[in-house]
Amino acid sequence: MTIKEKAFISGVFEHPGRELPDKSLPQIHAEVAIGALADAGLTLDDVDGYFCALDAPGSGWISMADYLGLDHLSYLDSTESGGASPLFHVGHAAAAIAAGKCQVALVTLAGKPRTGNPSGTGGAIPPEESFEGLVYGRAGAVSTYALAARRHMYEFGTTSEQLAQVKVSASLHAQHNPNAFLRKPLTVEEVLDSPLIADPLHRADCCVVTDGGGAVVVVSPEVARSLERTSVKLLGHGEAPKHASGGKIDLTYSAAAWSGPRAFEEAGVTPADIDYASIYDSFTITVIEEIEDLGFCEKGAGGRFVMDGALVAPDGRLPWNTDGGGLCNNHPANRGGMTKIIEAVRQLRGEANPEVQVPDCEIALAHGNGGDLGSRMRGATLILGRADA
């Protein structure tokens, strides 16, 4: 079974807040849910499929379903995949719709890592923790991503200046986003002058920490045709893990090396067909590796690829993260996958900020990863198309 053109995204909403000390986690989930449904021209009463992950409070989906008053649910999914969770959920929602399990699927994400829970999530202790955490001490995320960056530099000659170009591109986009957490355009020199956090990553190489959230509404073709709102068609979806391989992990690859080709194959397109890309940007090295793994350039060439404004919209070789991404705009719940979907939909609808709108955008890619580039992770890739293309 394929999901190609079997489901459509008809509603999206990104919470405008970045610091929300006076809002509860359920309240943020509810606000983004209602916002996305309103964008589609639907209500909570129309929802028969609900998807969320460990960012949901209490008992997860059941607590949020109760809070939202979702009384007509016939399909539920609480797959937990870190920052990639919303992309997993959209793919799973499309499969459920294609199988006739539901007609209107709601996907929500919310968190308060800036003014509330620092981790943004709950969950059980993973099995590797007793060895990696208690015996040797667990390295933080910045440290393990720094290891990946240093290895990429060693293998391929990638430079700190090339990493900095990723942040510069994000900042040039964020200046046009009134809700972006960081709106000041940066230079390569300013990125390199920011404090060193874990060699070779500087503070400006790291994503922002924000409250907020977002939601997506995935519907059947029949529902999409009944709505006045422009829908975006789902063309392909791929997901994959990358684990530590018993200690033989290659730090220069991400899970995108497997999820990307699967999504492209189902969609029947190639990287050369992509007009716009939303690519997960927890750190600048994440972007360089994922650009390679998704097939936009050969392995090791990512640092060179991002030079000379290649990522800058609207005219770059690969217009990318035009909302400012996780590096400058928003990283709600420490999980950036939701905003990647939302900005890709905006681009395909022609509703991105005018200064960064890609002309005649017909096919977009959204990619997210969860976990840790330096240990074990999972990735999900979506290929989306403009409904009239």
Q: How many angstroms separate the CA atoms of 333 and 336, rounded?
A: 8
Task: Write down the pTM of the prediction.
Answer: 0.94
Q: How many angstroms separate the CA atoms of 181 and 324, rounded?
A: 9
Worst-scoring range by mean pLDDT, 46-50, 92-96, 384-388? Answer: 384-388
DSSP states of 154-180 = HHH---HHHHHHHHHHHHHHHTT-TT-
Q: Where are the alpha helices (DSSP H) in the chain?
A: 25-40, 61-68, 85-98, 129-132, 141-156, 160-174, 188-193, 221-226, 256-267, 284-293, 302-305, 325-328, 337-349
**Residue of 103, 106, 98 lying closest to 5 (CA atoms):** 98
Q: How many angstroms separate the CA atoms of 58 and 67, rounded?
A: 11
Predicted local confidence at residue 348, as pLDDT: 98
Q: What is the mean pLDDT of the chain?
A: 93
Number of Cβ atoms within 10 Å of the Cβ of 154: 11
Number of Cβ atoms within 10 Å of the Cβ of 137: 7
pLDDT above 90 as % of the chain: 86
Q: Please identify, in words, the CATH class of the domain defined by 8-118+206-386.
A: alpha beta
**Residue of 157, 195, 196, 189 lying closest to 171 (CA atoms):** 189
| pLDDT tens for each residue of 182-237 | 999 999 999 999 999 999 999 999 999 999 999 999 999 999 999 999 999 999 99
Cα-based angle 94, 97, 102 (whole degrees, multiple of 5): 130
Domain ranges (residues) in the chain: 8-118+206-386
Whose structure tokens read 């510069």? 168
